[in-house]
Chains A and B, each alone.
Chain A
Amino acid sequence: GENVEQHPSTLSVQEGDSAVIKCTYSDSASNYFPWYKQELGKGPQLIIDIRSNVGEKKDQRIAVTLNKTAKHFSLHITETQPEDSAVYFCAASNNQGGKLIFGQGTELSVKP
């Protein structure tokens, strides 16, 4: 079955710097890759997603890139702010039944 590996597990950056989180997946049939932000005690919030027919997608300070050949995708946050501090999860799905397989999560800390 699908397996998603996420790195790093923790990431600390200075406010204004960029943050990059990387994920790899094992199932070549996966075609949908969302990223979620989870604040303490809350449910995950979708921040951006990408489908396999595109290589990059951007939404203001957030961008996601996808390399289907290498089976990895990355989240890029520019001009980080303290409110970006949270746990970020990547996920992958092949749309069969809609199941999402999640990475292990990255705890991002943005220091003012």
Chain B
Amino acid sequence: GAVVSQHPSRVICKSGTSVKIECRSLDFQATTMFWYRQFPKQSLMLMATSNEGSKATYEQGVEKDKFLINHASLTLSTLTVTSAHPEDSSFYICSARGRGLHLTDTQYFGPGTRLTVL
């Protein structure tokens, strides 16, 4: 149980284009989803927290107009990187916690999406 999937696993795009990453909880209802960014050899940096049906809460320094988050259902959250630039190239990881799990505060992570902006 507690499986989180992400799609795509890797994406290469041109500078100026937008990229959408999907995060799904497969066997539980995700009341809260989190989006992280991770640069090589570094720790995970929280970008935003999203609760189902409400607007995402962004961490300080994260541009909400550039990183659009939609948590439209209890099993799906999307992150759209708008007008991507090479400096947005990174490993993006989502996590989820919620109902249907033995302990609701545990976060389960997806496999990550490698974004490369040319």
B44 to chain A, nearest CB (A): 5
Q: What's the A-B contact tally at a CB cutoff of 8 Å?
A: 50
> Which residues of B have CB within 8 Å of A103?
43
> Which A residues from 84 to 101 make CB contacts under 8 A with B?
89, 93, 95, 97-100
> Which B residues from 62 to 105 make CB contacts under 8 A with A?
93, 95, 97, 105
Q: Tell me, in angstroms, the Cα distance from A41 to B40 when the chains sit together.
A: 10
Interface pair B112/A43, CB less than 8 Å apart: yes
> Which residues of A have CB within 8 Å of B108?
46
> Which residues of B have CB within 8 Å of A8?
none
Given contacts A43-B93, A98-B32, A98-B49, contact A104 B43 (CB under 8 A): yes
B113 to chain A, nearest CB (A): 9
> Given B4, B44, B97, which contacts A98 in the complex, CB threshold below 8 Å?
B97
Q: Tell me, in angstroms, the Cα distance from A103 to B42 when the chains sit together.
A: 10
Interface residues on chain A, number (Cβ under 8 Å): 21
Given contacts A98-B97, A99-B49, contact A34 B107 (CB under 8 A): yes
A contact face: mostly helix, strand, loop, or mixed: loop
Interface pair B111/A105, CB less than 8 Å apart: no
> Which residues of A have CB within 8 Å of B17?
none
Q: Tell me, in angstroms, the Cα distance from A71 to B93 when the chains sit together.
A: 28
Interface pair A42/B111, CB less than 8 Å apart: yes
> Which A residues from 30 to 75 make CB contacts under 8 A with B?
32, 34, 36, 41-46, 49
Interface pair A98/B107, CB less than 8 Å apart: yes
> Given B6, B34, B43, B46, which contacts A89 in the complex, CB threshold below 8 Å?
B43
Give B10's nearest chain A residue, CB to CB. A41
User: Interface residues, chain A, CB within 8 Å of chain B?
Assistant: 32, 34, 36, 41-46, 49, 89, 93, 95, 97-100, 102-105
Known: A99-B34, A103-B43. 7 other contacts (CB 8 A): A41-B114, A43-B6, A45-B109, A89-B44, A100-B107, A105-B42, A105-B43
